[in-house]
Amino acid sequence: MGNPSTEDDTLLSEKVAQLMEWTSRRSVIRMNGDKFRRFVKAPPRNYSMIIMFTALQPHRQCGVCRQADEEFQALANSWRYSSAFTNKVFFALVDFDEGSDVFQMLNMNSAPTFLHFPAKGRPRRADTYELQVRGFGAEQLARWVADRTDVMIRVIRPPNYAGPLLLGLLLAVIGGLAYLRRHNLEFLFSKNVWAFSALCFALIMTSGQMWNHIRGPPYAHKNPSTGQISYIHGSSQAQFVAETHMCYAAVTLGMVLLCEAATSPLDIGKRRIMCVAGIGLVMLFFSWLLSIFRAKYHGYPYRSVTP
């Protein structure tokens, strides 16, 4: 009869060797139900697994899953090609169409979802990544991995020249227009130009767009099992991009129409239409915004119309 400890060591060595081989081919290991049960659920295991549960097939129509997958791949590649790379942490992916039994096993009904399976013991609450709060950026994921595994990963991205090129093109266009109108630069002293620029800057800073840019939340959430799409996040600590566009943008448009109705040189009939449209937008979408607050913050006392 063999020694159980020796058998476990042999099995563990085989599992680690297999994972290292897969990782040498692809930074993110694709898993189905059998692989998940063997390399994640079944002991022995002395390594951590960071697994993304997703739905990447086109018929699932999960755009957020594809965006999150790109960030997850960037994180896994940064770890795979890091000088500090070890067999302490492995990255894997379970697609709904390849491992629906795993989703059922874990009672999971949303994607994308990131879970950490520690080397010892069962996953705790903190081992589930708070996607809607933190966003799915590779840098945010790296901080979460460091909290759960003590493995520090420096995210390295391939150079992206789109931003500098667009900025250079914009500066070139502005410079070209200034050169063409070098003998008539009165527009630089126009109050309307500077007022419009200041208004755009203020709207960007106060309309929720900066929150979206910093946190990187998904536009909406689609349940891979039912296909139901949610545009309003249920947590008071997070929001979808769709909430910003539907609520803040509509209220802002209503305010602009009201201001234009009061100051525009148009005839009284058109100004009256702008005023009615502005009031309607503000009342409708601000009331909706307050109802969202009441749904997220239980006991929120304010409403647009009091009985």
CA–CA dist 140, 126 (Å, integer): 14
H helices of 26-161, where?
33-36, 63-80, 100-105, 131-134, 138-149
Residues 6 or more apart whose CB falls under 8 angstroms from that of 28 comprise 52, 72, 73, 76, 91, 92, 93
CA–CA dist 222, 230 (Å, integer): 6
Structure token pair of residue 100: 């629906």
Confidence of residue 295 (pLDDT cuts 50, 70, 90): confident
Contact between 48 and 148 (Cβ < 8 Å): yes
Strands of the chain, DSSP E: 28-30, 48-54, 89-95, 113-117, 221-222, 229-230
What is the CB neighbour count within 10 angstroms for residue 68? 26
The pLDDT of residue 193 is 74
3-state secondary structure of 307: coil
CA–CA dist 254, 196 (Å, integer): 16
Per-residue pLDDT tens digits for 224-261 = 566 677 777 766 656 777 777 766 777 777 888 888 88
CA–CA dist 100, 92 (Å, integer): 15
In this prediction the pTM is 0.60
**HSE value, Cβ hemisphere, 13 Å, CA-based, for 137:** 16
Q: Which of 66-70, 165-169, 198-202, 229-233 has the highest mean pLDDT?
A: 66-70
Per-residue pLDDT tens digits for 182-200 = 677 676 677 777 777 877 7
The residues pairing with 94 across neighbouring beta strands, listed in sequence order, are 53
The pLDDT of residue 1 is 45
CA–CA dist 164, 82 (Å, integer): 27
Does residue 269 carry a pLDDT above 80?
yes
Average pLDDT over the chain reads 81
The single-letter code of the amino acid at 193 is: V
Does residue 114 carry a pLDDT above 60?
yes
CA–CA dist 55, 64 (Å, integer): 9
Q: How far is CA 196 from the centre of its chain?
A: 30
Q: Which of 28-42, 174-188, 217-231, 281-295 has the highest mean pLDDT?
A: 28-42
The single-letter code of the amino acid at 149 is: T
Backbone angles phi, psi at 69, to 5 degrees: -65, -40
Cis peptide before 44 (omega within 30 of 0): yes
Contact between 93 and 52 (Cβ < 8 Å): yes
